[in-house]
Structure 1
Amino acid sequence: MPANRFAAISSEPNILTDIYREEINLSVWQCTLSQALNSEVADLLNTASELQLSIALTPEQTIDELRGASALFADKPALSAHLAMLVDMFCTLFELKRAGLRLTLLNKAMCPKFHVDHIPCRLVSTLGGVASQWLPHDKVDRSKLGLGSKGKKDHESGIYSCGSDIQQLNTGDVALLKGSGWLGNEQGALVHRSPAPAAGETRLLLTLDFID
């Protein structure tokens, strides 16, 4: 078991650089979405039946690639600009030429059980709907991850002690989740899961990953 891991949370975007600190496994910029962006996201949630984009792109290409990938972006300038900004921040922070962007409309939990990602780091941001849940490092029984849960649901497996241990991101938050693929963080990866949206509710979820 590594020394404790902590979350770094701030309304300032430069908090994201804290992900490089050994003791940090979650870095969250509490980003307030503009009225224009919220309006475009609401329109997308209300009118699009499905959206499942998966694109490798450079920061300079983001807006053109989005418009090329889906006609939905023709009238979404605020959303396009926001995504381009996040791709630029992610690539700059990790010195990447490109990022792997996934933008998905979800009406069910994509990863409903608490788990860790076996990658170095992932950016996660819920732009509409209910946001991701996570467990503080000192509240997790890691022996109950994966097969250790013996097929039981999270509230039955003992992975956490009580419901108040579960923390939740806010819509608009830009979060960097450090995985087990980060050197020195093999036993300290952030434990997280997708929330189950309420009946009839949809989420718009963005993830950015390393691809080269």
Structure 2
Amino acid sequence: FMIQALLDLYECTFDQKYLIWADELQTVQDELFWDHGYAGYFSTVFNQNNIIRFKDDQDGAEPSGNSVAANNLQRLGMMLDNEEMKNKASQLLASFTSRLSEMPLALPEMVSALLLYHDSPVQVVITGTLENSETSELISVLRKGLVPGLIVMTTGEPDSFVCHKNGAINKMKPLNGRQAAYVCRGHTCTLPITSPSDLAIQLNI
């Protein structure tokens, strides 16, 4: 849940410290709770005195850790272009195939993660930082409407954490001195968009 909150905070503030923290926590979660044999996350850390380690497989008033993790791995994997995270998300969802097939209503949050997995969400990367008025104007367009599964990022400074982790984002530059937005679906991105109105048209907002 903390990782999910950090990713949400990043998409609200574009402060990369939240993304760095989320990446670090995901590594810790993988080390302590990941089931290397059958995929998915256990609810407890390994202890020789424990006979059984359980996995949450139901979203009640509180979503299961596995459902939340399935979303987190995909979002963080796309943000940082991390294939290991993307693969873990795929393995996690596959490990719950029977449960999802027999009783999808028990795991609505995981169904949402499954839709994200199959729908190739839209990712918008905007050059610059919030201090730049052109960057802020492009970001404001994204606040005017709903784009399901949208992932939003800014490049930040040239030597930022995001640029270091994601080679594709590192290549996204302003156009003719103006900050630009790149709209990506799957492995294909549009040409840089500098006009807020053109960005709105591209996203049907």
Task: Flag whether TM exceeds 0.5 (same fold).
Answer: no
Length-normalised TM-score, structure 2: 0.24
Higher RCO structure (Cα 8 Å, ≥6 apart): 1
Q: Which has the larger radius of gyration?
A: 2
**Per residue, is there more strand in 1 or in 2?**
1
